[in-house]
Amino acid sequence: MSNIRVNESPNHFMVLDAIARGIKTVDKIARVTKLSKPEVELIVNDLVTQRLVIGEEKKKLFGGKKLEFSISHTGLQMLNSKKLELEKEAQKIQQWYQSGQTQQLQSYMDNNRMWMPMMLFSGIMNAIFFMSMMSLMGMAMSPTETGFAGNTGSDAGAAADSGSNGADAGGDAGGDFGGGDFGGGDFSF
């Protein structure tokens, strides 16, 4: 187990959220969260050790075994609590954006940017709003943020493969922007 405190790790929450949606294997979790397979394996081990996730060996169709994960009651409570906290943060961000308080937005982004991929992944923040906010501040998106904002509709297939609702897989299922890098907001529709 790593020394990471789950409550301070956005990647742990993205993995927990993916498992809560019914995405059960490390490969599929890695695909929808856009994290590397080794990183997902470490995170899942942390979550199992802390009893937030339950691992179960299942037989494969043509022999062999695979490990599948499900969220525990405690894990679900922790995830829902964090999502509620992030939803309140997203409301503040939207108010600052609408009132043109770029200094407040800039300060928030400087201190809390690591949570943006989780907010985009879980659908707490709309990808188009996020791109517009980044453009207003003249900031470039990180590769992870670009992955979630730029592929808003294409994650639905990965979630559908796992038996989950496609709209839950990557935020707003409003369209596919082709995964392009919008260069900090210099984009057109």
Q: Is 114 helix (H, G, I), strand (E, B) or coil?
A: helix
Which tens digit of pLDDT belongs to each residue from 124-161?
A: 998 889 888 888 888 887 777 877 776 544 343 333 33
Look over the chain and give the mean of its residue pLDDT values, rounded to a whole number. Answer: 80
pLDDT at 3: 53
User: What integer is the mean pLDDT of 14-35?
Assistant: 96
In this structure, what token pair is assigned to residue 59? 């037989």
Domains of the chain by start residue, with CATH: 6-73 (1.10.10.10), 83-168 (no CATH)
For residue 183, pLDDT beyond 60 = no
Encoding tokens for residue 1? 């187990």
Strand, coil or helix: 53: strand
Q: CA neighbours within 13 Å on the CB side: how many for 10?
A: 17
> What is the pLDDT, as a whole number, of residue 31?
95
The phi, psi pair for 178, rounded to 5°, reads: 75, 10
Beta bridge partners of 54: 70
User: Which pLDDT tens digit goes with each residue over 48-80?
Assistant: 999 999 999 888 778 788 899 999 999 999 999
* pLDDT band with cut points at 50, 70 and 90 for residue 108: very high
- CB distance 87 to 122 below 8 Å: no
Q: Are 162 and 139 spatial neighbours (Cβ–Cβ below 8 Å)?
A: no
Assessment of whether the complete model's pTM goes beyond 0.95: no
**Predicted local confidence at residue 162, as pLDDT:** 38
Contact 78, 16 (CB under 8 A): yes
Which residues 6+ apart lie within 8 Å of 63 measured at CB? none
